[in-house]
Amino acid sequence: MSTDRQYYVYVMTNKSGTLYTGVTNNIKERVHQHKNKLIEGFTKKYNITCLVYVETFNDVSYAIAREKTIKGWLRKKKIELISAANPDWRDLSEGWYD
């Protein structure tokens, strides 16, 4: 298996603090899709447009396992993870699409 590909586990939120965890191999494209509501479902319904957390992996199976782990956590633990890496909860995709 090729190791030059990267995979991302990410957490996004909205103004109400609803959290969404996902996995992708193209973080910029996926965040763009969420921000512009191009994907039907949870993120479109709840207006989830702010990227607050990202982890990078070289192996898709590790990325998927990590996504499942985070999704299984209680909200409090997810908030602690985000706050440790991004204390101000700023949008990590700021400036990507300028």
CA-based angle 26:8:30, to the nearest 5? 40
Q: How many Cβ atoms from other residues are within 10 Å of residue 96's Cβ?
A: 13
List of the chain residues with pLDDT < 70: 1-3
Kindly list the domain boundaries of the chain, sorted by start residue.
7-85
Report the predicted TM-score, pTM, of the whole model to 2 decimal places: 0.94
Q: Name which CATH class applies to 7-85.
A: alpha beta
Q: How far apart are CA 14 and CA 55, in angstroms?
A: 19
| pLDDT at position 98 | 85
